[in-house]
């Protein structure tokens, strides 16, 4: 039996003179005419020009070749161009093979003879490879265009509002009992010093009034299945023992006999066992601290239930598991204040009147534990206050990095103090100052002019606090000792407590510092390491309010552009697949897949690739001991043929 | 031996090293013409069999070039390539092949100069060792 010799149609591009000046195209044509497996189309001056493309299409239509070799520039430049042209004349894209005779031949040697020989080898390899090609099929998939936003701080709120505006259903999941995140705990936002509650209140009411947004509070995401365009998200919603009919009128607060340390006030004040975070919260409903409420402790009290004018107290409320579907997931889980408990020199928790910046700000908030009044533990007014920059930052036993946004917060302390006590002396002790944009920098200059004294230490890690006759003495390398009445420690930002667990649930990467890793730091900075998952606000690293909102809008913009109702998404074409007849079920492929795209069917003892998740790296193919895994368009046969073609030209 | 008579096959990942080689061309950097690239999507795709097949078919040297560790387009395929390479290097003498004929390295998309440097070094190495005549285990070039 004789097998018909397949023939590859060769196009030679001169690329102006970029190729033809350095490679002898006539000699290649001569070789091609004798090779047997090559059919030569004419060379063209510039195959990617409109005229060249037309020539390419017309020649394909006329000659109906088995395969095509385009000897021209890099496939990274024009492979797609010629594949699409081929598809337009009903030639499958897989049969188009490029030989990179420009970047890899013409341009890397002065010797025309050598460049020509190497070009022939590359063309030969491309032709041999093309004979092993199997047709590729474009695949599309219907998608769910709704979104789940995890985290109800400023970034999550803005993401939800943006998506809802485009008529998408949004499930906004928040672990606290109401929305607002870190921003709602502050008084003013530096450097514009816009009032935080004034900024957030209208956004909260917009969320409340938007029928596209379902707010799920007191809740955590605990399981995610599926993939880009088709996620199923399981949400565990804890009972709050108060029904949604509650309007937050606070009638129950007056009768509740139990005081509980308030987490909202960072444990500096108290709230009742039935509580809201702040008046006007969204949702408005209160919640009950089960572990402190006397009804739950010894069944001795029903005061709130009796006082409620709406019958909203429900001691029998149960936790709920809610399942929703979405095409994209937006992570807006924020940050945690840098932990400084382990840094003994700062005496945090050991000396009175030492606060972190967030505690200090909560204290001076008009809705704070002391109604905004700034006073010492003994009730007196402070005369001198010190702010320690980089408390716990830029050191190996704390946060090893600079958070970049705390200097402006540290500079803000003086401004907040002067608002009520204009004569208090403020000294900021720092090693490095970071005011990375013109607005932050001019804010810093304003604070200098307004009287904040900035003192540079040679080493901020050397700061040591000690008690000195009811005052606090601060020593540090490079400065004279300072005695003050109150110290504010400017802590950095660390990843939120939920980041690690969420990364595991979603199978996405974290940076070394524990913040979520971007798919690409520059080009896709709000994309997580898996498609369809976005990271916004401080979940992706410390950012200020402005940047948190920018990232939220950016992520939603990207998601909206990819998930369009009625439009299917195009899937990666060159994925891996596993031949069920050859698979031995050893699961080695599963261990190497970076995207968990491979699963094992326990009944059939075989593994299979989810081609929606697969990105086509081919690592599983190299790992497969039985040759069952195949990388489309990069099959073993194609690569073996290419190797042979390079050597035996 | 003249360069043109020896052959070095380099398996290069699409995202970093192939792009680095393209840039070397764009910058008109000369490097030995006996370096011939086989593009794969990821260095993690390179089956050690590809390396052995290259030697069997007559390559005098084989390289795998991928993204720098931490920069892999597919998270960590390059690390998998590295793990396989360690084993492969240990196996090569068994087949009578000097492990120096194989080299795994990292070249980023912007590292045209580094691409040139790495492949030129490899070409020099192969020139020094001489051609590979695979004649089975008897006349191994490894003592």
pLDDT digits (tens, 9 = 90+) for B40-65: 999 999 999 999 999 999 999 999 99
pLDDT of residue A2: 56
- What is the domain-level CATH number for residue A85? 3.40.50
Q: Would A57 be classed as within a structural domain?
A: yes
Backbone dihedral angles phi then psi of residue A535, each to the nearest 5 degrees: -125, 125
pLDDT at A99 over 90: yes
- Which among A75, A618, A646 is the nearest to B36, CB-wise? A646
- Residue A343 and residue A464 in one domain: yes
Q: What percent of chain A has pLDDT over 90?
A: 93
* pLDDT tens for each residue of B77-114: 999 999 999 999 999 999 999 999 999 999 999 999 99
pLDDT at B139 over 70: no
Nearest-angstrom CA–CA distance, A331 and A323: 17
pLDDT at A497 over 60: yes
- Residue A255 and residue A224 in one domain: no
Chain A CB contacts of B58 under 8 Å are 647-648
pLDDT at B4 over 80: no
- Which among A102, A121, A617 is the nearest to B44, CB-wise? A617
**DSSP state, A545?**
H
Q: Would A443 be classed as within a structural domain?
A: yes
Chain B CB contacts of A636 under 8 Å are 47, 49
Cβ atoms A401, A511 nearer than 8 A: no
Residue of B nearest to A122 (CA): B36
CB pairs under 8 A between A and B: 123
- What is the domain-level CATH number for residue B72? 3.40.50
- Residue A522 and residue A469 in one domain: no
Mark yes or no for CB contact B28/A634 under 8 Å: no
pLDDT of residue A613: 85
| B-interface mutation test, from A18, A104, A507, A592, most B Cβ less than 10 A away | A104
- What is the domain-level CATH number for residue A532? 3.50.50.60
Cβ atoms A345, A170 nearer than 8 A: no
Mark yes or no for CB contact A594/B77 under 8 Å: yes
Binning pLDDT at 50, 70 and 90, where does residue B137 land?
A: very low
Q: Would A8 be classed as within a structural domain?
A: yes
Lowest mean pLDDT among A171-185, A447-461, B6-20, B127-141: B127-141
Q: Would A378 be classed as within a structural domain?
A: yes
**DSSP state, A358?**
H
pLDDT at A649 over 70: no
**Domain extent at residue A354:** 338-494
Q: What percent of chain A has pLDDT over 70?
A: 99
Chain A CB contacts of B22 under 8 Å are 74, 76-77, 100, 103-104
pLDDT at B3 over 80: no
CA neighbor of A426 nearest in space, from A437, A434, A418: A418
Nearest-angstrom CA–CA distance, A469 and A353: 13
- Residue A472 and residue A399 in one domain: yes
How far is the alpha carbon of B128 from chain A, nearest alpha carbon, in Å?
Answer: 20
Q: Would A647 be classed as within a structural domain?
A: no
* pLDDT tens for each residue of A353-397: 999 999 999 999 998 998 999 999 999 999 999 999 999 999 999
Q: Work out how many domains chain A is built from and give that number.
A: 5
Answer with the residue of higher pLDDT: A54 or B3: A54
CA neighbor of A542 nearest in space, from A402, A441, A422, A446: A402
Mark yes or no for CB contact A619/B77 under 8 Å: yes
For the sheet with A471-477, list strands across it. A459-468, A471-477, A479-484
Mark yes or no for CB contact B36/A118 under 8 Å: yes
- Residue A409 and residue A391 in one domain: yes
Cβ atoms A553, A162 nearer than 8 A: yes
Q: Work out how many domains chain B is built from and give that number.
A: 1
Q: Would B1 be classed as within a structural domain?
A: no
- Residue A225 and residue A293 in one domain: no
* pLDDT tens for each residue of A270-315: 999 999 999 999 999 999 999 999 999 999 999 999 999 999 999 9
Mark yes or no for CB contact B40/A109 under 8 Å: no
Chain A CB contacts of B75 under 8 Å are 509, 529, 594-595
pLDDT at B141 over 90: no
pLDDT of residue A511: 94
- Residue A348 and residue A461 in one domain: yes
Chain B CB contacts of A125 under 8 Å are 36, 38
pTM flag (> 0.90) = no
A592 touches chain B (CB under 8 A): yes
- Residue A116 and residue A20 in one domain: yes
Mean pLDDT of chain A, nearest integer:
96
Mean pLDDT of A313-327: 98
A243 touches chain B (CB under 8 A): no
* pLDDT tens for each residue of A532-576: 999 999 999 999 999 999 999 999 999 999 999 999 988 899 999
Segment 489-548 of chain A within 8 Å of chain B by CB = 509, 529
* pLDDT tens for each residue of A139-177: 999 999 999 999 999 999 999 999 999 999 999 999 999
A634 touches chain B (CB under 8 A): yes
Q: Would A142 be classed as within a structural domain?
A: no
Nearest-angstrom CA–CA distance, B38 and A356: 57
Chain A CB contacts of B36 under 8 Å are 118, 121-122, 125, 646
Nearest-angstrom CA–CA distance, A446 and A570: 53
Chain B CB contacts of A623 under 8 Å are 80
Q: Which two tokens stand for residue B4?
A: 């043109």
Mark yes or no for CB contact A615/B74 under 8 Å: yes
How far is the alpha carbon of A278 from chain B, nearest alpha carbon, in Å?
Answer: 43
Mark yes or no for CB contact B45/A574 under 8 Å: no
Nearest-angstrom CA–CA distance, A248 and A236: 23
- Residue A216 and residue A285 in one domain: no
Mean pLDDT of A80-103: 97
Nearest-angstrom CA–CA distance, A279 and A261: 18
pLDDT at A414 over 50: yes
Q: How many CB atoms lie within 10 A of CB A419?
A: 14
First to last CA, chain B: 22
pLDDT of residue B138: 38
A576 touches chain B (CB under 8 A): no
Mark yes or no for CB contact A618/B41 under 8 Å: yes
Mark yes or no for CB contact A103/B26 under 8 Å: yes
Q: Would A649 be classed as within a structural domain?
A: no
Mark yes or no for CB contact A616/B14 under 8 Å: no
pLDDT of residue B143: 40
Segment 86-145 of chain A within 8 Å of chain B by CB = 100, 102-111, 114-115, 117-118, 121-122, 125
How far is the alpha carbon of B119 from chain A, nearest alpha carbon, in Å?
Answer: 12
Q: Would A52 be classed as within a structural domain?
A: yes
**Domain extent at residue B108:** 8-136
pLDDT at B136 over 90: no
Backbone dihedral angles phi then psi of residue A106, each to the nearest 5 degrees: -60, -35
- Residue A64 and residue A213 in one domain: no
Which helix (DSSP H) or strand (DSSP E) does residue B64 occupy? strand B61-66
Nearest-angstrom CA–CA distance, A491 and A342: 13
pLDDT at A198 over 60: yes
- Residue A361 and residue A503 in one domain: no
Cβ atoms B84, B125 nearer than 8 A: no
- Residue A130 and residue A199 in one domain: no
* pLDDT tens for each residue of A41-70: 889 999 999 999 999 999 999 999 999 999
b/e per residue, A241-251, with b = 16+ CB within 10 A? bbeeebebbeb
ipTM over 0.90: yes
| B-interface mutation test, from A129, A527, A639, most B Cβ less than 10 A away | A639
* pLDDT tens for each residue of A104-131: 999 999 999 999 999 999 999 999 999 9
| A-interface mutation test, from B35, B47, B59, most A Cβ less than 10 A away | B47
Mark yes or no for CB contact B33/A115 under 8 Å: yes
Q: Domain end: A532, A562, A592, which one? A: A562
pLDDT of residue A3: 66
Which string of DSSP letters, residue by residue, matches A82-135? HHHHHHHTT--GGGEEEEETIIIIITS-S-HHHHHHHHHHHHHHHHHHHHT---
């Amino acid at each position: 039996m004789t097998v018909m010799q397949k023939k590859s149609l060769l196009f030679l591009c001169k690329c102006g003179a970029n190729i033809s000046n350095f490679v002898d195209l006539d000699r290649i044509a001569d070789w091609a005419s004798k090779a047997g497996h090559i059919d030569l189309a004419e060379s063209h001056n510039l195959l990617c020009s409109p005229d060249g493309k037309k020539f390419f299409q017309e020649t394909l239509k006329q000659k109906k070749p088995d395969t095509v070799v385009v000897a021209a520039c890099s496939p990274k430049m024009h492979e797609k161009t010629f594949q699409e042209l081929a598809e337009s004349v009903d030639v499958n894209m897989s049969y188009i093979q490029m030989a990179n005779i420009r970047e890899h031949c013409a341009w890397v040697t002065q010797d025309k003879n050598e460049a020509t020989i190497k070009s022939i080898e590359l063309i030969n390899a491309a032709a041999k490879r093309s004979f092993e090609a199997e047709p590729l099929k474009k695949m599309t998939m219907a998608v769910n265009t709704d979104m789940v936003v995890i985290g109800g701080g400023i970034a999550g709120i803005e993401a939800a509002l943006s998506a809802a505006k485009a008529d998408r259903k949004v499930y906004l999941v928040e672990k606290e009992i109401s929305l607002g995140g870190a921003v709602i705990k502050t008084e003013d936002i530096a450097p514009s010093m816009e009032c935080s509650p004034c900024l957030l209140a209208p956004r909260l009411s917009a969320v409340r009034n938007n029928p596209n947004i379902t707010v799920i509070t007191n809740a955590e995401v605990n399981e995610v299945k599926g993939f880009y365009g088709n996620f199923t998200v399981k949400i565990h919603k804890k009972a709050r023992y108060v029904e949604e009919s509650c309007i937050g009128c606070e009638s129950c607060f007056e009768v509740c006999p139990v005081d509980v340390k308030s987490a909202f006030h960072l444990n500096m004040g108290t709230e009742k066992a039935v509580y809201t975070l702040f008046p006007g919260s969204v949702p408005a409903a209160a919640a009950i601290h089960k572990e402190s409420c006397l009804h739950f402790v010894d069944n001795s009290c029903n005061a709130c239930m009796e006082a409620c004018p709406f019958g909203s107290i429900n001691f029998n409320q149960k936790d709920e598991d809610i399942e929703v579907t979405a095409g994209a997931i937006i992570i807006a889980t924020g940050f945690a204040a840098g932990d400084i408990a382990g840094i003994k020199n700062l005496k945090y928790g050991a000396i009175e009147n030492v606060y972190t910046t967030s505690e200090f700000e909560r204290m001076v908030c008009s809705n704070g534990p002391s109604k905004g009044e700034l006073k010492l533990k003994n009730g007196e007014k402070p005369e001198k206050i010190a702010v320690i920059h980089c408390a716990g930052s830029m050191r190996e036993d704390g946060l090893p990095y600079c958070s970049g946004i705390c200097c402006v917060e540290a500079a803000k302390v003086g401004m907040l103090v002067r608002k009520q006590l204009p004569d208090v002396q403020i000294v900021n002790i720092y090693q490095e100052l970071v005011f990375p944009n013109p607005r932050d920098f001019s804010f810093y200059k304003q604070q200098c002019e307004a009287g904040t004294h900035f003192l540079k230490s040679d080493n901020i890690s050397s700061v040591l606090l000690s008690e000195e006759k009811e005052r606090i003495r601060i020593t540090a390398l490079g400065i004279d000792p300072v005695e003050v009445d109150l110290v504010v420690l400017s802590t950095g930002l660390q990843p939120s407590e939920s980041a690690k667990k969420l990364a595991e649930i979603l199978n996405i990467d974290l940076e070394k510092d524990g913040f979520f890793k971007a798919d690409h730091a520059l080009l896709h900075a709000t994309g997580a390491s898996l498609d369809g998952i976005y990271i916004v606000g401080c979940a992706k690293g410390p950012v200020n309010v402005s940047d948190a909102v920018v990232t939220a809008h950016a992520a939603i913009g990207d998601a909206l552009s990819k998930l369009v109702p009625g439009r299917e998404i195009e899937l990666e074409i060159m994925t891996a697949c596993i031949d069920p007849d050859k698979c031995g079920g050893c699961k080695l492929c599963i261990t190497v897949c970076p995207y968990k795209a491979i699963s094992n069917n326990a009944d059939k003892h075989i593994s299979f690739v989810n081609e929606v998740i697969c990105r086509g790296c081919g690592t599983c193919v190299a790992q497969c001991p039985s040759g069952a895994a195949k990388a489309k368009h990069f099959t073993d046969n194609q690569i073996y043929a290419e190797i042979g073609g390079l050597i035996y030209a | 031996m003249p360069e043109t008579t020896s052959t070095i096959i380099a398996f290069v990942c699409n995202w970093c090293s192939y792009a680095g080689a393209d840039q070397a061309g764009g910058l008109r950097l000369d490097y030995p013409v006996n370096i011939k690239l086989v593009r794969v999507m990821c260095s993690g795709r390179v089956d050690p069999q590809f390396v052995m097949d290259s030697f069997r078919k007559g390559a005098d040297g084989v390289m795998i070039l991928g993204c720098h560790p931490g920069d892999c387009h597919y998270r960590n395929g390059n690390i998998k390539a590295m793990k396989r390479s360690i084993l492969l290097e240990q196996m090569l003498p068994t087949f009578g092949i000097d492990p120096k004929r194989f080299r795994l390295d990292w070249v980023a998309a912007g590292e045209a100069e580094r691409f040139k440097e790495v492949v030129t070094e490899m070409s020099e190495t192969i020139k020094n060792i001489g051609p590979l005549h695979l004649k089975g285990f008897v006349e191994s070039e490894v003592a």
